[in-house]
Structure 1
Amino acid sequence: MQPSDRDEIRDLLKRTAVALKEGGVPFALCGGYAAWVRGAPEPDHDADFLVPSAEAERAVKILHDAGLQVEDPAEDWLTKVVQGNSFVDVLWRTCGHPVESDLIERAEDRSVLSVHMPVLAATDILVTKLMALDEHYCDFSRLLPVARALREQVDWHTVRREVADNDFAVVFLDLLGRLGVVGEEVGAG
């Protein structure tokens, strides 16, 4: 990523958050940038926000009314806010499930690039990232630095319970235990 691309994504992240905030739409920063706010490496791609599924249509209208370029992708669980070569995903489904208000309510208010916004809790960041693992996407190399950076902020027993039905996630937790990132009692399946 070129530095100008990173600046463009950061600007778009801030503009999206401000529009959602001013429009009164409940939301939370999630994904790689939420992990970055909590100490993980800065991602080299888009930023992501969650909104409750019941607020999806209103969120799209608010973003459009704020003058942001909103694109409707083929997927029926998100919209994209676009600026130049950069985009922000606004999701109302994650890992095949509608985003519920309780996930947003657990987010913590943080300063992100000088804008206060809700940021997904570290445990929820890890759960959503791990639940995205499947036979089509299983890149542990992107997850390992995030897990290491957030390890002291995460309730690992909750993560293990929440991802127990995803074999790819369970194997990743086992790897974390073997590497000493988490205690063996959490890593052992």
Structure 2
Amino acid sequence: MQPSDRDEIRDLLKRVAVALKQGDVPFALCGGYAAWVRGAPEPDHDADFLVPAAESERAAKVLAEAGLEVVDPPEDWLTKVVQGGSFIDVLWRTCGVPVEQDLIDRAEDMPVLSVHMPVLEATDIVVTKLMTLDEHYCDYGRLLPVARALREQVDWDRVRREVAGNDFAAVFLVLLDRLGIVELPVNEG
């Protein structure tokens, strides 16, 4: 990514957050930029926001009314906001599950590039990233720096419970244990 591309994404991230705030749409920064705000490396691609599924249509309307270019992609679980060659995803489903208000409510208000906005908590960031793992996408290399950077902020017991049904996520937790990044509990019995 060229520095100008990163600047464009950062600018668009701020503009989307301000529009959602001014439109009183509940939202939270998620994904790679949420992890970055909490200490992980800055991502080299788009930024992502979550809105409750019940607010998805209103969110798109608020963004368009703010003068942002809103695009409806073929996927039925997100809207894209485009500026130049950059885009922001506004998701109302993650890992096939509708976003609920409680996920947004757990977000913490933090300064992001001089704009205060809700940022997904570290545990939810890790859970949502791990739940995307499957036989078609299983890039542990992108997840390791995030897990390492956020490890003290994460409730790893909750992560284990929430990703228990995803074998790819469970194996990643074993990898974290073997690398000494996170210690798994010893199985008793």
TM-score (norm 2): 0.98
Asked if 2 retains the 8 angstrom alpha-carbon contact of 1:173 and 1:186, the reply is no
Give the structure 1 partner of residue 152 of structure 2.
152
Report the RMSD for the aligned CA atoms in angstroms.
1.0
| Change in 2 beyond 3 A, CA 1:166/1:15 | same
CA distance in 2, matches of 1:17, 1:184: 37
The amino acid that maps onto 1:148 is R
Q: By how many angstroms is 1:186 displaced?
A: 7.7
- What is residue 173 of structure 1 aligned with on the other side? 173
Does residue 66 of structure 1 match 2:58?
no
Q: Deviations over 1:106-131 (max 9, x none)?
A: 00000000000000000000000000
Structure 1 SS opposite 2:70: strand
Contact 1:160 1:186 in 2 (8 A): no
Which residue in 1 is equivalent to 2:34?
Answer: 34
Task: Look up the equivalent residue of 2:33 and give its one-letter code.
Answer: Y
For the residues of structure 2 that align with 1:170 and 1:184, how far apart are their CA atoms?
A: 11
Please state whether the residue corresponding to 2:76 is helix, strand or coil. coil
User: What secondary structure, in the 3-state scheme, does the structure 2 residue paired with 1:159 have?
Assistant: helix
CA displacement at 1:34 relative to structure 2: 0.0
- Pair 1:17-2:29 in alignment: no
What CA distance in whole angstroms lies between the structure 1 residues aligned with 2:134 and 2:115? 34
Query: Is there any run of 5+ residues in structure 2 with no aligned partner, and where?
Result: none
Q: CA deviation at 1:184?
A: 3.0
Give distance in 2, aligned partners of 1:148 and 1:186: 21
Amino acid of the residue matched to residue 145 of structure 1? P
Task: Decide whether aligned partners of structure 1 residues 83 and 185 sit closer, same or farther in structure 2, where only a CA change above 3 A counts.
Answer: same
Distance 2:121 2:162 in 1: 14
Residue of structure 2 equivalent to 1:113? 113
Tell me the alpha carbon deviations over residues 71-107 of structure 1, each in whole angstroms, 9 at most, x when there is no partner.
Answer: 0000000000000000000000000000000000000
Aligned length in residues? 187
Q: CA separation in 1, counterparts of 2:88 and 2:136? A: 22
Match of 2:78 in 1: 78
4+ residue segments displaced more than 2 Å: none
- Asked whether the 8 Å contact 1:12–1:87 carries over to 2, the reply is yes
Aligned with 1:127: secondary structure? helix
Check 1:186–1:180 CA distance in 2 against 1; reply closer, same or farther (3 A cut).
farther
Contact 1:156 1:186 (8 Å CA) reproduced: no
The offset of 1:185, in angstroms, is: 1.4
Counterpart CA distance in 1 for 2:139 and 2:66 is 36
Structure 1 unaligned spans of 5+: none
* Alpha-carbon distance between aligned partners in 2 of 1:180 and 1:48, rounded to the nearest angstrom: 30
Q: Share of identical aligned residues, percent?
A: 81
